[in-house]
Structure formats: structure tokens, C-alpha cells
Chains A and B, each alone.
Chain A
């Protein structure tokens, strides 16, 4: 497909792709101004490039399935570690429950055992989000549950369609083995997992967000290991895609 004897098609293609160096580039630019056929050929290359790019661009916005993350490589180890930690937390909770003075805090005790740093770090954004702990996470009947902006984000925001201005970022949404829906989230310095329970969101895991790692920090890597483990442990199949997520939201996250 030679459009012009002076400029073979692959040279025009390279020009359209921004791959030509001087002085060839300026030479073609000059020729384009006087030769409409040449200009049309370059435009065809650009249009095709855009069309192909657009056809796959949406993949970048899809939530990355949890099992693809590098940590999945030693899933067995981390799962064991998570179970051990949980077993310890349960006995800590039992001990706490046995002490009358602490009777109202058994779950907090359990959480503290596993997530000492996480819950404390969480305080930073509870306060920072302007309204104290009660605003985002509350201790409802001894368990952590989402409130306020966090609850709103969990029910309304889509991982595939981030809400600019929201203090909360949704990581992945997935169907859990027990049939309900769970979603990972990040808010300020904290990250966690929320699972739908009745009309609210229970928070089985809350942790300090993974430390920023220079230029490479982004959605996929910000989730702390404890949250990734909790996802691995609960997820049935793979993370929901944009369409499934939207459909689940429309059903009010009912199984």
C-alpha cells in the first residue's frame, strides 16, 4: 500500500506513531501540507491506532482479580498465617470477654490482637474525615460496621467508576463463599474489607494501608496483606467485573 513513491507506507506509519526522527519528520510535515493524499494516509494510521487503543482501554479500569496479585504466589502460607492470627484473636477475645470490666469490648479486643496498628492508624482518618470515629466506623453491638461516608461509599460507589471527591476508594467487589457480597476499600491511611450484612456493612478486617512505594503505588498494591488474605479466604470465583458490580448495586447488594 504505497500511497506515495517518495514515502512508503511504513514511513508514514512511523510518522503517525511519532517514531520518526529529524530531519525526516519535518520533511514529511512539509509534504503533508501540500499533498492531501499523503495527509489522508497519515490520518488513516492515526485513526486505526485510536480505534484499536479505545477497544481495549476499558480493561485498565476493571478491578484486578485478587488471585492475580503477586502475593497469590504464597497464598497457602499467608492463609495459614491468617488462620493462626485469627485463632489467636479468638482466644484473646475469649479472655477479654471473661474479664467483666471489658465485657463490652470483646470484638475490639479481638481486632486489637490482630490489627493493633491498623485500628490505631484508622483513627487518623476517622478524625481527618471530619467527624470522629462515629462518622465512618462505629462499634455496633460489639462489631465494626460502616457508618456515614464509608457506608454511603460502600453502597453506592463502583470500583469500576471511582468517585473523584469521595474520601473512600473501593478496591474490588466480589461474591463471597457464603453467598453475600464483600468489597475492599481504602480511606485515608486505612484499608479494609466490608461484607454486606442485612442493610449495613460489617467490617471483618481493618488495617493500615500498605505504605506508599514511590511511583509504583496504586490501587492494586495499596491493599495490605491482611486484607488480601481476607479476600482470598472469602472470595468465590473471581472479582466482579464492571457489569456485575453495577447489577449487584442495583439489587441493593442482596445475595
Chain B
């Protein structure tokens, strides 16, 4: 049963992982490690609590203590493959996506995490704070700083193409 519920969350987990790693392969490695941990520790999941929050926390921890150290550092930023998703949207939307992804890759890890949870996945502040195991006040100020940093990177990008 838990396996089915975890499987249903895979698309969201992959999206979050993509927001905090730089490569598609690293993101999927991260999700795989997290899924293995989740299944191996299913007894630690408390029935009735949010499974998505629990899984996000596992992903975050897996990133910090395992996957981060073996990612492909050779190329810090790997843009999505050319032509991907193209067809549905304009060239402008495409280049804007690339710009945001690149700016994300330049953020600090803390900032990527909080943006990934709140802006990319859409978690409420309270849930995001629980995932990151920080108080609400810390979450709010961290999110505000992360947004500032991201906004600055995106404006720089526009100023110097």
C-alpha cells in the first residue's frame, strides 16, 4: 500500500529533486535513493501524517548526506535538453525557463531547498518549515532572502545576456 502511495508522489518528488540538483540524472539518482530509504524505513512513517512532507524530508536528507557528494560537479549547470517541451510554448517561455533554472543553480543550497518546496512544489509555509525542521519565522525570512537572491540573479541575466 505504502509503495503505491509513494509511486503516486514520484512526479512531484522528481520535480523537487530537479529544482535542487543541476542534472536530470542526479535528480533521478536522488529520488531513487530517497525511495529506497522510504521503503526501508516505512515503519518510521506515522499513519495519518502527510506522506509528501515525510518524503520531502527524506529527499533533503539523502541529498545532504549522500547524493550531494557524488554529483557531477564538472558542469555545474546542465540546461534541459534542446527541444524538450518545445511545441507547446513559445521561444520566449522556453528561454525564460532556462534562465530560471540557471539562476536556481547559482543559489545557495539552503535557498534552493526553500524555493523548491514553496515555489516549485507549492507547499504551505508550515509544511515547508516542518520538512526543513526549522521554525516558521526562520522559514519566512529564509524564503524572503532566497527570493531576493533569485530576483537579483534574474535581473542580472536580463541586463547582461
Say yes or no: B15 contacts A14, CB within 8 Å: no
Query: A104 at interface (Cβ–Cβ under 8 A)?
Result: no
Of A28-36, A174-182, A235-243, which stretch is located at the interface? A235-243
Chain A residue numbers with a CB within 8 Å of B84 are 58, 241-243
Q: How many angstroms between the C-alpha atoms of A129 and B63 in the bound complex? A: 46
Q: How many angstroms between the C-alpha atoms of A54 and B80 in the bound complex? A: 14
In angstroms, how far is the closest chain A Cβ from the Cβ of B154? 8
| Complex A-B, nearest 4 residue pairs according to Cβ-Cβ distance, in ascending order | A55-B100, A70-B3, A59-B15, A216-B8
Residues of B within 8 A of A (CB): 1-8, 10-12, 14-15, 18-19, 24, 28, 31-32, 35-36, 38-39, 80-87, 93, 96-97, 100-101, 104, 115, 118-120, 122, 124-125, 140-141, 143-144, 147-148, 150-151, 154
Residues of A within 8 A of B (CB): 1, 9-10, 13-14, 17, 19, 44-45, 48-49, 51-60, 62, 64-65, 67-73, 210, 213, 216-218, 220-221, 238, 241-243, 246
Q: Interface of chain A, helix or strand or loop or mixed?
A: helix
Q: How many angstroms between the C-alpha atoms of A241 and B3 in the bound complex? A: 24
Q: Interface of chain B, helix or strand or loop or mixed?
A: helix
Cross-chain pairs A/B with CB under 8 angstroms, 13 sampled: A1-B148, A10-B141, A13-B147, A17-B125, A52-B119, A54-B93, A54-B96, A55-B100, A58-B80, A68-B35, A70-B6, A210-B4, A213-B1
Q: How many angstroms between the C-alpha atoms of A250 and B83 in the bound complex? A: 14
Q: Which residue of B lies closest to A13 (CB)?
A: B144
In angstroms, how far is the closest chain B Cβ from the Cβ of A206? 21
In angstroms, how far is the closest chain A Cβ from the Cβ of B12? 7
Q: How many angstroms between the C-alpha atoms of A1 and B28 in the bound complex? A: 36
